[in-house]
Amino acid sequence: RQKEALLVARRLLATGMTLEEIAPIVDFPLAELQALLARED
């Protein structure tokens, strides 16, 4: 579930959406999503 959420989040970021907009779509808390994306970069 986490991998799928990150994949979707990256695709949405590429379209210009913000993490604040993406977090509810992928059903992850904003802080957790930020941490996961930062850890993978």
Tokens of 27: 């059903």
pLDDT tens-place string over residues 16-34: 999 999 999 999 999 999 9
Tokens of 16: 């210009």
Sorting pLDDT into bands at 50, 70 and 90, what band is 1? confident
List helix spans (H) across 1-41.
Answer: 2-14, 19-26, 30-40
Mean pLDDT of 35-41: 86
pTM, 2 dp: 0.85
